[in-house]
Structure 1
Amino acid sequence: MGRKANPIGIRLSITNDWEDSVYFKSKDYSMYLNASYRLKTYLINCYKQYGLIRVRIRQERYFYRVVLETEDSGYFLRMIKGRVNSLNTKLKKLFWSDIKIVVKQLDNPTYHPLVIAYKLINETSDISIKANVKQIASSLVGVSIMGLKVRYSGRINGSDMAQTIWHIEGRMPLQTLAADIRYASVNIKTSYGISTFKVWVCVNVFQTQI
């Protein structure tokens, strides 16, 4: 099969940017990675049910800005209104430096790969996964996006061996570096073991003139 390149990493500085923007000396970088992992894991596990999609960290001059990207910022703020003080206290324990929290709504959450993955996880059973993927693809491909690819792997329907279900619709030019392709991978725990959803979304293919 050969080695595969991550569709996000290979397009850094072309169509994608770094998830975090921080600067550390080499001896302190491992400490930052550990703290940021604990911070992001805590936030995602606690507030994913309220529409939290992704957490980004930006380094400012005297503090770190933690950006919470959500599907609906108004709904998210209403749900955590009574937990702001406890949230700030908890985050200061997880992250050693001063931080400021900013809630940001995604520009187009409908076709964000993480939103699609969570939607499939919440609304899809092993039996109806193909039908739900086709329904989502038919509503987005050709209207909002150019292509969608979904890969679901695991012990589907409790089978003895792991299986993989693929669905591709529209254009998905993974070899074109100028293509705006967004990717997400989510692991879920089922009664039969861990299953994985991988979603590729082709938003646009930029035409370059030679």
Structure 2
Amino acid sequence: MGQKIHPTGFRLSVLKNWSSKWYANGKSFPGMLNEDIKVREYLKKKLAHASVGRVVIERPSKNARITIYSSRPGVVIGKKGEDIEVLRGALQKLMGVPVHVNIEEIRKPEIDAQLIADNIAQQLEKRIMFRRAMKRAMQNAMRLGAQGIKIMSSGRLNGIEIARTEWYREGRVPLHTLRADLDYGVSEAKTTYGVIGIKVWVFKGEVIGRGEQAGAGTAAPQVLPPAGEPETRRPPRRPAGRADARSDGKAGEKKGPRKSDNSSEESATKPAKKPVKPGVNDAAAS
């Protein structure tokens, strides 16, 4: 049975980039990775109402730079920057190094996979029908420029006793194409019946590199001989003799000697033979 790989991990170093950008030796790597996990969990709880789509953590020399991508940056910053200062102090205490916080705005939250998944999860927690929430999110994404979207929900949908999975798709969602710009998001809805998982794939189009664009209308490169060696070329091939064979006659048919042009003139100058009467020959024979 085929399993689906994580679309972001599958496209790392091709289209996507890492969400944690730092280097560490073998001893300090586990501790720094654990700090990143704690920071992401803290920001997810602290900024649950701010529509945070992605968090990028960088670690320059003995510092930390955290970039928060949100569709509501004003909620994160607060009045006169008060909330972001409190957030910076909490992160600095959590990581133990000076922290710089940057806020980036998400222009189109309707086609961001993580924000779509979080929005559907919030609606399910408010007892909204899951089909209505999924179809509404798909319509908004396709209206704002997405070329394809797929949404899958798993769990006790509508409170049924047996858990099941339902998914809807609209447009193209190429999971195997590396140059496809595919966004992926996961969220959980904690309802009274249990946890419902939501997965979202958003296809935003294919990214064509410079080499493919330049080589689309050009011919194949010519291979030249090494320096110092004469250029040897094969003699051109003779064209196929099918046309000549058709004009002269059928293929394989023997041709006789050609008659000279004078033969027609001779036949014209020779007098025609007189027809022999049948009665004279019969009398002579008798």
TM-score of the alignment, normalized to the shorter chain, above 0.5: yes
Taking a change above 3 Å as real, the CA distance of residues 79 and 119 of structure 1, as seen in their structure-2 partners, is farther
- What letter is aligned with 1:153? S
Aligned to 2:132: 131
- Counterpart for residue 77 of structure 1: 77
For the residues of structure 2 that align with 1:135 and 1:193, how far apart are their CA atoms?
23
> Are positions 1:153 and 2:154 aligned together?
yes
How far is 1:117 from its partner?
A: 1.0
The answer (yes or no) to whether the contact 1:52–1:76 under 8 Å persists in 2 is no
8 Å contact from structure 1 (residues 53, 115) kept in 2: yes
Q: Deviations for 1:63-111, whole angstroms, at most 9, x for unmatched residues?
A: 1101111102234322694334432332122112221111111243221
The amino acid that maps onto 2:49 is Q
Q: Name whichever of 66-75 and 176-185 sits farther off.
A: 66-75
Distance 1:158 1:79, change over 3 A: farther
Name the count of aligned residue pairs: 210
Q: In 2, distance between residues paired with 1:45 and 1:163?
A: 28
Q: CA deviation at 1:142?
A: 5.9
RMSD (CA atoms): 2.1
| Alpha-carbon distance in 1 for matches of 2:57, 2:44 | 14
Check conservation: 1:148, 1:171, Cα contact below 8 A. Answer: yes
Q: Post-superposition shift, 1:29?
A: 0.7
Q: Residues of 1 paired with 2:128 and 2:135: CA distance? A: 13
What is the alpha-carbon distance in structure 1 between the residues aligned to residue 33 and residue 52 of structure 2?
21
3-state SS of 2:78 partner = helix
Runs of 4+ off more than 3 Å = 79-86, 124-127, 206-210
Question: What secondary structure does 1:38 align onto?
Answer: helix
Structure number with the higher strand fraction is 1
Residue type of the alignment partner of 2:90: K
The percent identity for this pair of structures is 27
Which amino acid in the other structure matches residue 4 of structure 2?
K
**Aligned residue number for residue 37 of structure 1:** 37
Query: After superposition, where does 1:17-166 map in structure 2 within 5 Å?
Result: 17-78=17-78, 81-124=81-124, 128-141=129-142, 143-166=144-167
- Which residue identity does 2:162 align to in structure 1? M
Deviations 1:145-203 (A, max 9, x none): 10000000011122222111101000001111110001011123221222111000000
1:19 Cα deviation (Å)? Answer: 0.8
Indicate yes or no: 2:9 matched with 1:2.
no
Please give the alpha-carbon distance, in whole angstroms, between the structure 2 residues aligned to 1:83 and 1:66.
15
**Which sections of structure 1, spanning at least 5 residues, go unmatched?**
none
Contact kept, 8 Å, 1:147 with 1:171, in 2: the verdict is: yes
Contact 1:127-1:157 at 8 Å conserved across structures: no
- Residues 80 and 167 of structure 1: is their aligned pair in 2 closer, same or farther, counting only changes over 3 Å? farther
Structure 2: gaps of 5 or more residues: 217-286
Q: If the length of structure 2 is used for normalisation, what is the TM-score?
A: 0.67
